[in-house]
């Protein structure tokens, strides 16, 4: 290579490095030129069924650009679910979330994403990307669905592999909980000695009151079994649900399971409640009932907001379980959902 070629190469490298370095601050972090940097812990929360706006605002617009919103899938490396793409004039929606998504367009520099009629699975990390072919930029926002975590086992302890646990949560108007959701539930008072699947294939259980049968003298915290074999290993699960659009109510009586189903249809105009719906009613409707009642999965439970001596005997509020009695027993009322 002659000296002229070396000089041209050197100038090219210097120019490229200058462009890159012009957007790096003293700490070494790349500074955003077009997009406004969100707070370090940018998180937005809303209940199921509500509407939410994920902020993304520009300082200024490049001459030609696209905005792409994606929902990130942390447990599937490299997978991005595109929600929508716009060039400032036309807009295209993608995937299952797309029809419920739009841009807020509150002003010419606004690229914030609006999501309507939120579903349990909408929670997670979202990325707003500005693409102009030269200096692409991005900001990330966390969407948190307000809700409650509850432990769930099907007809006995440790009966479900990962797929069965995921299906069980769905059957109870819920989804499998994340570690972050379980941790928050633990800080809110969840103490449970049975290990359960989370949505990333790991297994944990939360302990506030250490005892011999639950890890012995270990400090309070989230006990972890780590990742487990999703087919061969069997555990309970932790499910996550949120507020519902309906109402859970109690029908008194001494029903067997089939009679409870009929009573909900005929006398209540509804159906037997799912476990997730009962937990949501306990949390969001302050449902307090000191009587066991059938639920759709064949279990018998009752919700306590104000603990008292003859209502389960425990000092904490919660949903008490009487297990899965024989469906022919005429001993319980019914919790119905309408």
C-alpha distances out from residue 224 to 160, 201, 205, 322, Å? 17, 12, 7, 27
- Spatial contact of 197 and 181, defined as CB atoms under 8 Å apart: no
Helix (H, G, I), strand (E, B) or coil at 250: strand
CA dist 330 and 293 (Å) reads 11
pLDDT at residue 16, rounded to an integer: 31
CA dist 86 and 32 (Å) reads 20
CA dist 193 and 202 (Å) reads 16
At 286-330, the pLDDT tens digits run 999 999 999 999 999 999 999 998 888 888 999 999 999 999 999
**Residues making up the chain, counted from first to last:** 338
Q: Could you give the domains of the chain?
A: 29-145 (2.60.40.10), 147-240 (3.10.100.10), 248-337 (3.10.100.10)
pLDDT at 8 over 80: no
Helix (H, G, I), strand (E, B) or coil at 124: strand
> Residue 132, exposed/middle/buried by CB under 10 A (0-12, 13-18, 19+)?
middle
At 140-166, the pLDDT tens digits run 999 999 999 999 998 889 999 999 999
C-alpha distances out from residue 155 to 87, 152, 185, Å? 53, 10, 24
Contacts with 78 (C-beta within 8 Å, 6 or more apart), sequence order: none
pLDDT at residue 133, rounded to an integer: 79
CA dist 301 and 321 (Å) reads 4
Confidence category of residue 76, pLDDT binned at 50, 70, 90? low
Contacts with 69 (C-beta within 8 Å, 6 or more apart), sequence order: 54, 56, 82, 83, 84, 85, 101, 113, 126, 127, 128, 129
The strand pairing partners of 241, in sequence order, are 148
Give the tokens for residue 173: 């108007």
């Amino acid at each position: 290579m002659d000296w002229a070629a070396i000089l041209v190469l050197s100038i090219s490298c210097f120019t490229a490095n200058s462009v890159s370095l012009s957007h790096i601050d003293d700490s070494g972090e790349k500074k955003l030129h077009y997009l406004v940097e969100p707070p370090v812990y940018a998180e937005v929360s809303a209940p199921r069924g509500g509407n939410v706006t994920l902020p993304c605002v520009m300082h200024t617009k490049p001459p030609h650009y696209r905005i792409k919103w994606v929902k990130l899938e942390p447990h599937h490396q490299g997978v991005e679910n595109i929600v929508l793409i716009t060039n400032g004039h036309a807009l295209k929606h993608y995937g299952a979330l797309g029809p419920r998504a739009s841009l807020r367009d509150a002003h010419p520099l606004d690229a914030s994403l609006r999501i309507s009629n939120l579903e349990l699975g909408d929670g997670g990390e979202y990325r707003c990307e500005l693409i102009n072919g030269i200096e692409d930029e991005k900001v990330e926002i966390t969407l948190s669905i307000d809700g409650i975590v509850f432990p769930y086992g099907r007809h006995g302890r440790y009966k479900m592999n990962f797929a069965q646990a995921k299906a069980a949560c769905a059957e109870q108007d819920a989804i499998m909980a994340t570690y972050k959701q379980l941790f928050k539930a633990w800080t809110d008072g969840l103490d449970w000695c049975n290990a359960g699947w989370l949505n990333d294939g790991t297994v944990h259980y939360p302990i506030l009151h250490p005892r011999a049968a639950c890890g012995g003298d270990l400090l309070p915290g989230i006990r972890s079994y780590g990742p487990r074999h999703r087919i061969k290993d069997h555990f309970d699960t932790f499910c996550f649900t949120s507020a519902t659009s309906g109402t859970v109510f109690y029908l008194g009586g001494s029903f067997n399971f089939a009679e409870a189903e009929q009573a909900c249809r005929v006398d209540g105009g509804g159906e037997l409640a799912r476990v997730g719906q009962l937990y949501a009613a306990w949390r969001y409707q302050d449902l307090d009932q000191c009587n066991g009642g059938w639920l759709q999965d064949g279990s018998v439970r009752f919700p306590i907001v104000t603990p008292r001596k003859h209502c389960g005997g425990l000092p904490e509020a919660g949903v008490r379980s009487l297990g899965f009695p024989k469906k022919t027993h005429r001993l319980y009322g019914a919790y119905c959902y309408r």
